[in-house]
Structure 1
């Protein structure tokens, strides 16, 4: 069952009321996840086989845009949780008993899930390489996990961590180890000191001989046997996160329009909203965001319908959508000047948050190089040899 517009508006308002304080203090917005859970949004993508609504990508995009408008830190951790449930509904990687535990607990409290993949030396594994985090097999069953992950979004509030690691075998295997966050040997280091999304608490997590039970793994394989990346999972990530940041830009637009109605310069004797210059500028913002939202919504619906072309275009939609979001907030700042940059103004917070859209996978350069090569390949003469 899809969330009603009224439900999404209410949740957005509740999150927005506390977002500035969490941003100022850098504190994790725990109560925000309870708000999202009570509204049924945190488990929206749990599959019907496990008693969930089984929401698709189009519904997830609606949810994340609303949450992004309220508090993008809550939205980002929620996105990771929703993506994990959706992947389980499609691919079924988790052990059945473990996942049933996750679903059962989710009815009583917020159960936050995220994959921990980035490391100090490796950086993002999306660009290749093997993790330094290592799992050592324990005689009699299970693994001992040791290593350090950085940029671990929501670390202090996670219930389960999907930790990307290598085994100490020869040859080594690589995969995700399912780790309960209250397991002995886990330390969350408060390293997150960022320009934007301060409340996301994307801290470092250190694992020291953390015991992982036998079978609490997904997708273990040698590098040579590595399966190709699931493109549908990639499209969920690209379109879902783009929707989140379009929500941030929408909140900035709404603040701007309110400001333009309230601001009455004495020299003008009328609100700034009455001036054609401001009307045109707001129209440009509206056109940009409307086009980006339509693109994301349309592709999301097509992904749900199994359209492979839509899946392939999701990365480009992220480039288009996040650029539109950043551009909209930048234009809003140019229209408000010092008032928009004041620390009391939400506009400066929206700007800091929307800039974070650039760092998520897939990043612009990766998407554009692939798209450019594909376009050039289509136009190349039959005898042409592609450059490596």
Structure 2
């Protein structure tokens, strides 16, 4: 079964909206509604996980609370939320449904990048904002390919944009495209057919002819994220709808602040998953009364100590992520550089705490009748996000060794 986005993603005409979006009516973020929204997501998270169905109603709830566009710059009529607020949002949503949180994060990151260093064409970004005022308009960068793997490991994309008289013609195959079936805009990383070759993002509306989503996502965790394959067959992209198009090595290098948003935002998301697991665990320990004991498991010192260890792990990781996020917002370059290390520590704390919860209660933690097994499967996905542990530790180790053994 395939999905043709030209017929399933809306009826937009593609007409440009003004880039000055102060009058577009973007919903203001209501942080007080975070617990309510997270609870609504949690109520259907199990269903979407079982069916591997995309949680459209969950994304709609996030949008209605003004959270999906919280990072839109104030100059465009947005709230201009920084990384600290984004961490708060994603931690709460991750505790409800991490699939919704993940597609939300990609859209928040796209708007924050535009606020820091505008790279979308003015009329195209105005079009996105105008639609975002009316309904959820999800955005994601499609970079990974079957042969290339993750682009952070190096290499050029096979996806190719061929120059025509007044447009580009985009052909390629992307995998692990989070939220593909629900996206409104895709930032497709591709190469040109020029000499010398340039690479960059081609901004593609998902109602463009020639786009096909193949439902290939058959994953252990985050099943509802629908991170399917997307195929582009001679998709027409107007010449101006590109971002960051440059020769390899001349694209400005690594975006350290953008990397910090990714590292800390996604770590917060998975800490939210771990908190959801902890909440279920504590409820179970209070409710479970073995006949031989005659009292809840929560009264036993062994369980109290284990829950205490989980709490220490999660509280420390949450405080680290929140503090670094605030420091990044204040312009501290060291904080941005340390964000990858915080991801290692934070995701390990999240995974370790959920694994400990499962080990603590045995079969009850692994039955499909309880959500703990879902939290375990979901939290394990934290390992695959960029930057991965080996890259962070290699870079950090090399930097430490370059200090010549001097104390920090």
8 Å CA contact 1:154–1:202 kept in 2: the answer is yes
How far apart are residue 229 of structure 1 and its match? Answer: 1.1
- CA distance in 2 between counterparts of 1:242 and 1:262 reads 30
Match of 2:47 in 1: 21
Pairing partner for 1:91 from 102, 111, 117: 117
Given the alignment, which residue of 64, 69, 91 partners 2:95?
69
Q: CA deviation at 1:336?
A: 1.3
1:328 alignment partner in structure 2: 353
Partner residue in 2 for 1:38:
64
Normalised TM-score (structure 1): 0.97
Per-residue CA shift, 1:261-290, capped at 9, x if unaligned?
000000000000011110000000000000
- Helix, strand or coil for the counterpart of 1:350? helix
| 2:268 aligned with 1:234 | no
Q: Find 2:384's aligned residue among 359, 366, 386.
A: 359
Unpaired runs of at least 5, structure 1: 382-388
Name the counterpart of 1:384: none
Alpha-carbon separation, structure 2, partners of 1:344 and 1:38: 31
1:274-293 matches, cutoff 5 A: 274-293=299-318
Q: Partner of 1:126 in structure 2?
A: 152
Does the aligned pair in 2 maintain the 1:2–1:59 contact within 8 Å?
A: no
Aligned 8 A contact 1:162 1:178 in 2: yes
1:53 equivalent in structure 2: 79
User: 4+ residue stretches of structure 1 with deviation over 4 A?
Assistant: none
User: Normalising by the residue count of structure 2, what TM-score does the alignment of the two structures yield?
Assistant: 0.92
How do 1:277-316 residues align onto structure 2 when only pairs under 5 Å count? Answer: 277-316=302-341
Whole-angstrom CA distance in 2 between matches of 1:236 and 1:21: 30
Give the Cα–Cα distance (whole angstroms) in 1 for the partners of residues 396 and 242 of structure 2.
Answer: 34
Say if 2:264 and 2:343, in contact at 8 Å, map to a contact too: yes
Distance of 1:262 and 1:213 partners within structure 2: 60
Alpha-carbon distance, 1:2 to partner: 6.4
**Which secondary structure state, in structure 2, belongs to the residue aligned with residue 378 of structure 1?**
coil
Aligned residue in 2 for 1:196: 221
Whole-angstrom distance in 2 between the partners of 1:83 and 1:224: 23
Matching of residues 107-256 of structure 1 within 5 Å: 107-139=133-165, 141-256=166-281
Question: What is the root-mean-square deviation of aligned Cα atoms in Å?
Answer: 0.9
Counterpart in the other structure of 1:349: 374
Question: Secondary structure of 1:379's match?
Answer: coil
Deviation, 1:142, is 1.1
Runs of at least 5 residues in structure 2 that lack an aligned partner in the other structure:
1-27
The answer as to 2:292 corresponding to 1:267 is yes
Query: Number of paired residues?
Result: 379
Tell me how far 1:227 sits from its aligned partner.
1.8
Residues in 1 aligned to 2:348 and 2:96: alpha-carbon distance in whole angstroms: 20
Q: Deviations over 1:83-137 (max 9, x none)?
A: 0000001110011111111111111111000000000000000111000000001
